[in-house]
Amino acid sequence: MPQIELVVPALGESISEVTLNRWLKPDGAWVRADEPVAELGTDKATQELPAPAAGKLSWRVREGETVRIGTVLAVIDTEATASAESRPADIPPLAETLPPDRSAQAEKSTVPPVTAPGIGPSSGPVPPPPLSPSPVTPRSSPAAARLLAEAQLSAAEVTGTGPGGRITKGDVLAAMAQRTPAATSAGASTLPPSPGGDGSTPGPLAPPSASASLAPSLSPPSVSAPSAGATPTGRSVTREPMSHIRRRIAERLLESQQTTATLTTFNEADMSTIIELRQRYNERFEKRHGVKLGFMSFFVKAVVEALKAFPIINARIDGQHIVYHHYYDIGVAVSTDRGLIVPVIRDADRLSFAQIESAIAELARKAREGRITLQDLEGGTFTITNGGVFGSLLSTPILNPPQSAILGMHAIQKRAVVVQDQIAIRPMMYLALSYDHRLIDGREAVQFLVRVKECIENPAVLMLDLP
């Protein structure tokens, strides 16, 4: 029978594994060529995977599994006909969802109906206890079926958003989220506080056995923290699994700390001139270009000028070699509900202030809407992060491997400074440059940051392309 494999494609030089976030087509469904059938997720972004041919889809990997590049996710039977599309998707037989020893046990467990003593014929047979996962309506996907059983929800309590009203895993998670406050309130009145907790998060602990079985399945792609208004009950705690993107962020940051010789140097910049420019020209700038004139475009321009003066900052280590980049792809860190990501502004040295601001706005919008692609995130040569938007006064940014340096912007704060032997109140910003000391010497790092400071304090050199 002709079959075509659906495999995990190569998504980038630094991507070795992905998570199958969800299937977009049910197991056994008929799919068209180039139709999106699966959603893959990495620590950076999500990407839809199209069917390589038309035919009947047969899953080989379940939702939520992490697999390596080249793994076969499914096979497509090209001899299948479109009639399969009109049938409800089949839920895999129970034997397929259980290990071999459980499968045999399941087959032996089928017994004739038994009538309980003292109950009339109208009472009907008493069914045997269901095996886990409990069978549910065929309108649920296999992942949703398991989640329904574990959460003790019926399909009638969930609104399906899939094709033909099919219930997906996301639908079940949404229903559970709506039910959580009531469940927590009820549980708090019947369960005693858990000893040994820190009391930092509301909600009682589930029994150990329930916690162990529910934790992997109940985690949505991104987990929201408990509401600020919730009151901790005694010394209770809440335990929740890390999302895939949070795990990957943790791994990458730890890898950065362990594989680089990170050092940070500091300086401060007087923001008076830039603030005055923005106040004077922002309205005209926005009318002409359709985007506001922000601080980030000035810093991108300043960084590019400093990178040209100190090429080693724009380089990276590759084994026993130093790779110099003769282009300037500047990453700008963006905070999203799913975590911190760094979309890249390509060839920033060729862009105007308006083009840089437009690129930043578009990338930030795509990131927050979940439309960012891997191509938007790969290949940066230097990164800028701005903790000042959250009020940070000073920080030591962590390197974004394989890059060798990162610039940290911070909050603008009025401070007393000496200007021409006079005390003056000026809007000041601390700047932090973290760098890999294996490649970059302290002299170069300090001079680079001084050059950035000079460009920020005298932006005419950026606008007029002056040395």
pLDDT < 70 regions, the chain: 1, 12-14, 43-44, 80-147, 149-150, 152, 162-164, 166, 169, 177, 179-233, 466-467
Sequence-ordered alpha helix ranges (H) in 4-161: 94-97, 100-108, 142-151
Choose, from 34, 337, 347, 441, the residue flagged as catalytic.
Answer: 441
The reported pLDDT for the residue numbered 176 is 73
List Cβ neighbours of 366 (8 Å cut-off, separation of 6 or more): 343, 372, 373, 376
The residues spanned by each domain of the chain are 3-77, 261-463
User: Which residues does residue 307 pair with via DSSP β-bridges, in sequence order?
Assistant: none
Of 354, 434, 355, nearest to 394 (Cα)?
A: 434
pTM above 0.75, yes or no: no
pLDDT in tens, 174-227: 777 676 544 444 444 433 443 444 444 344 433 333 333 333 333 344 444 555
Q: Point out the catalytic residue in the list 289, 325, 349, 437.
A: 437
Query: 339: burial class by Cβ within 10 Å (0-12, 13-18, 19+)?
Result: middle
The secondary structure of residue 167, as a DSSP letter, is: B
pLDDT, position 134: 40
Q: Are 267 and 449 in contact (CB under 8 A)?
A: yes
Q: Which fold has domain 261-463?
A: Chloramphenicol Acetyltransferase (3.30.559)
Tell me how many helices (H) and strands (E) the chain has: 12, 19
Nearest to 467 by CA among 226, 279, 270, 305: 305
Task: Give the pair of three-digit tokens for residue 311.
Answer: 């090429």
Instruction: Decide: 202 and 183 in contact? Cβ < 8 Å.
Output: no
Q: Cα 390 vs. chain centroid, distance in angstroms?
A: 20
Angle in degrees, 0-180, between the axes of helices 169-190 and 142-151, rounded to the nearest 10: 10
Distance CA 163, CA 373 (A): 25
The domain 3-77 having CATH identifier 3.30.360.10: the answer here is no
Q: Which pLDDT does position 452 carry in this prediction?
A: 98
C-alpha torsion angle, residues 11, 14, 17, 18 (rounded to 10): -50
The pLDDT of residue 14 is: 64
> Is-contact 62 20, C-beta < 8 A?
yes
What CA–CA distance (Å, rounded) separates 166 from 138?
Answer: 9
437 counts as catalytic = yes
CA 119 to chain centroid:
56
Joined tokens for residue 360: 């930043």
Strand partners, 345: 330
Q: How far apart are CA 278 and CA 283, in angstroms?
A: 9
Closest listed residue to residue 111, CA positions, set 93, 129, 137: 129
DSSP 251: H
